[in-house]
Amino acid sequence: MAIAPGVSAQDWAATLEGFAAAVGKDWVFTSEEDLALYKDAYSPFWGEPEEKHASAAVAPQSAEEVQAVMRIANKYRIPIYPISTGRNLGYGGSAPVLSGSVVLDLKRMNRVLEINEKNAYALVEPGVSYFDLYREIQKRGLKLWIDCPDPGWGSLIGNALDHGGGYTTHMYRVHFDAHCGMEVVLADGTIMRTGMGALPGAKTWQQYKFGYGPWIDGMFSQSNFGVVTKMGFWLMPEPEAYLSGTVTVFKHDDLIPMVDILNELENNGIYNGMPFFGSPLQGPLEPGEQLRNPMAPGVQALFAKAGGPTPADFEAYCAANNIGYWAVKLQYYGPPEVIRAQWNYSKKKFSAIPGVKLEDGELLTMPLTEEQKKKVHGVAFGIPSLQIFFIGTRSESNPTPGLGHIWFSPIIPRDGKSIFEAQKVFGNAAREMGLGALNPLQLPGTYWQRAFIFIFGFPITHDPAVNKKNREAFEKLVKICADHGWGEYRTAPAYMDAIADVYSFNNHALMRFHERVKDAIDPNGIISAGRYGIWPKHLRKA
């Protein structure tokens, strides 16, 4: 049987006994078979000694049981790694950062504690998945939407705590921003509520975020300062209608005014959905479609050109074939007369770009029929699914699918020139590191309203030599990004230290602050050692 690092056999036996007394022996896992489930299926250390593993797992059913587990762990100095649903694929799965930690699996705490339709919020436990909340809303016939990430099997709490994002309006798709109030169990077993929750009998825990005094909720995201046992989320009232529209431009540099105009519309609140940027050269501008279908033979021929295609090549192809170079699909939510006016005003602004093409999409009124639900991009309508996993399946455009990937996801400024600079920098770096040519038509994502995010999937293989090369390339890219003033928003355990290291203003003043907080509230350093580069004192490197 594995033992947590730094723990004597005697203390380990007492710990497991204590856990069994706290949660029931059926919910303490120590067999190799059970623990294999807590490995990261997309581990970049696949099969190597550094591959992260758990020494045990414990699955409480209530906040009181979490408190009991934390008291035992604190007494015996057992490293604990809390997960909600543990489906953090691409960013570490459910594996602990410090190998040998005990995974505190909160999946059994899966109660939807409250849904308030009038004020549009829900209070949930960590094990509540997007599917669970969606089904509960449907079952009760409430006129509320959730905002979900691509895979619907994850949890509202785990996703928000790792700064995840979704697809509806910006008020809801930035999941941590959309939360209101949390309950946290600290390392010594103390239970605490944030915001209005600190007021016994508060009537507005899920309605007013800040409570009284410093707002500390952010400290529990991407950190290791506590175990979150409840969290409130604001939900989107079902809109009356949805309208899309597509803006297409034909020259390479048209992307610059296109982004500027969109920013103005978004920052003024005239545009409220998630913009979806792409190049029509790669196929229809629908999420997923460009990955599902191979590009037209003429575009493939340009990609095959020695030295790669230039913007002039693409522009000539666009002119000859009447195809746009860049496009953005816009999505509006609201009453039909309002969203039609918003789209009309947007068209007026975009018509400043010479040669621009503006196409009206279909206006859909809510609720969608079952037939419509099958046709639309579900997550843009708050409908959870697992459809995104098609990206890893065999298809005509992907004849040799990989075994998973680690996301490399730097944040860059929200303007067209920065996109071009990033494409150049990443393209050069990929070539130099022997990673192959980067797609010069790839555009960034728009989860966050004020910044772009480039998302690249670094493939995982079961060949240690290839994984090693990819790990080195990943770390090099982190430094290259930092040299350009770009930083990653989130990462997997394998890269948490490397990325923390580049957030180094004033001799790592921010990390030193995190460490002081860690030492004060978790002096035995038991919670999620090493998460986002924050190590407890006894494991801290100089």
Distance CA 494, CA 465 (A): 16
Name the burial class of residue 116, with classes exposed (0-12), middle (13-18) and buried (19+) by CB atoms within 10 angstroms of its CB. middle
- For ligand FAD, the binding residue among 56, 106, 128, 425 (CB under 6 A) is 106
State yes or no: residue 80 binds ligand FAD (CB under 6 A). no
State yes or no: residue 170 binds ligand FAD (CB under 6 A). no
Closest CA to 364 of 350, 377, 351: 377
State yes or no: residue 488 binds ligand FAD (CB under 6 A). no
Residue type for position 19: F
Orientation of helix 464-483 relative to helix 416-432, angle to 10°: 140
State yes or no: residue 278 binds ligand FAD (CB under 6 A). no
State yes or no: residue 87 binds ligand FAD (CB under 6 A). yes
Exactly one of 91, 121, 242, 447 is catalytic; name it: 91
Distance CA 175, CA 149 (A): 9
56 beta partners: 102
Q: Peptide bond before 280: cis, by omega within 30 degrees of 0?
A: no
For residues 224-243, which are near ligand FAD according to CB under 6 A? 227-228
Distance CA 397, CA 291 (A): 7
Respond yes or no: is residue 212 known to be catalytic: no
Respond yes or no: is residue 490 known to be catalytic: yes
Lookup: tokens for 17 = 């006994």
Respond yes or no: is residue 91 known to be catalytic: yes
- For ligand FAD, the binding residue among 74, 84, 244, 290 (CB under 6 A) is 84
CB of 76 to ligand FAD, least distance (A): 20
Lookup: tokens for 131 = 């599917």
Which span (45-53, 147-155, 436-444, 472-480) binds ligand FAD, by CB under 6 A?
A: 147-155
State yes or no: residue 531 binds ligand FAD (CB under 6 A). yes
Which span (53-61, 153-161, 282-290, 435-443) binds ligand FAD, by CB under 6 A?
A: 153-161
State yes or no: residue 91 binds ligand FAD (CB under 6 A). yes
* Comparison of 82 and 211: residue with beta carbon closer to ligand FAD: 82
Lookup: tokens for 251 = 């020259």
CA distances from 418 to 251, 252, 255, 409, 443 (A): 17, 13, 11, 15, 11
Which span (11-19, 145-153, 276-284, 353-361) binds ligand FAD, by CB under 6 A?
A: 145-153
State yes or no: residue 151 binds ligand FAD (CB under 6 A). yes
State yes or no: residue 467 binds ligand FAD (CB under 6 A). no
CA distances from 319 to 78, 290, 311, 312, 464 (A): 65, 21, 12, 10, 46
Residue type for position 274: M
State yes or no: residue 127 binds ligand FAD (CB under 6 A). no
CB of 531 to ligand FAD, least distance (A): 6
State yes or no: residue 89 binds ligand FAD (CB under 6 A). yes
82 beta partners: 104
Active site residues: 91, 489-490
In the complex, the residues that contact ligand FAD under the rule CB under 6 A are: 82-92, 94, 106, 126, 149-151, 154-155, 157-159, 161-162, 164-165, 227-228, 388-389, 391, 528, 531
